[in-house]
Chains A and B, each alone.
Chain A
Amino acid sequence: NAGVMQNPRHLVRRRGQEARLRCSPMKGHSHVYWYRQLPEEGLKFMVYLQKENIIDESGMPKERFSAEFPKEGPSILRIQQVVRGDSAAYFCASSPRQGSTGELFFGEGSRLTVL
């Protein structure tokens, strides 16, 4: 039973380029969440998506960041015109349903380095 799959595991971009991070949730899970972990900091919520819908994007920066979870295919976190401060580990998590206990299953993360 495959877990949450993220790719790429490592991504290097120069300032001004675009970064695309992909996430395939666990089989049977229809809820996807993106978290960001900056160096020496804890994980911070970015966005919560269900198929074709953004449910909560209160943690997303207002500019340059976008996320989608299409009907077919993985969820995509897109960062346009990257800056050095975007360097971080980006984690995707999934859950089978919306529940009050909030248990999430995390992928291994995508580590973005902006030169």
Chain B
Amino acid sequence: TQLLEQSPQFLSIQEGENLTVYCNSSSVFSSLQWYRQEPGEGPVLLVTVVTGGEVKKLKRLTFQFGDARKDSSLHITAAQPGDTGLYLCAGAQGAGKLIFGQGTTLQVKP
């Protein structure tokens, strides 16, 4: 069974700080996605990474896919209170079948 482990599970930081969230697996995924979920809502897709070593940037968010396509990281620069939420990584196991990590709950204090 493929598993994705996210770390840390909880993160509370001050506005302006930088942070990195990690997503690790012993399995290779054809692609990996990051989602953000607000309380009471569904996950919203942030980015998809496909190629080993790929780096994608979305404003202050930087996503990296490991060379072996087994791990990924999300780095947020100068975090803002609006970044607060649950961040989920998900690996594609086949058509539409995603394996989700447990999630990282981020709280950014003003």
Contacts and interface: CB of A to CB of B under 8 A. Distances in A.
B34 to A, nearest CB: 11
Interface in A81-115: 91, 93, 95, 98-109
B30 A104 contact: no
Given A103-B48, A109-B42, A44 B100 contact: yes
Given A100-B31, A100-B92, A108 B102 contact: no
Contact of B95 (A44, A58, A59, A99): A99
Nearest to A107: B42
Contact of B100 (A42, A48, A105): A42
Nearest to B98: A102
Given A91-B42, A103-B33, A105-B45, A98 B101 contact: no
Given A43-B88, A101-B30, A108-B41, A95 B102 contact: no
Interface string A24-68: 000000010101000001111100100000011011000000000
B97 interface: yes
A95 B35 CA distance: 15
- Bin chain A's interface residue count: 20 to 34
Contacts of B99: 45
B103 interface: yes
B82 interface: no
B73 to A, nearest CB: 18
A106 B101 contact: no
Interface of A: 4, 31, 33, 35, 41-45, 48, 55-56, 58-59, 91, 93, 95, 98-109
Interface of B: 30-31, 33, 35, 40-45, 48, 50, 88, 90, 92-103
10 contacts: A4-B42, A33-B96, A43-B98, A48-B97, A100-B30, A101-B33, A102-B90, A102-B92, A102-B93, A106-B35
**In the A-B complex, the 3 residue pairs with the closest CB atoms:** A102-B92, A106-B42, A42-B100
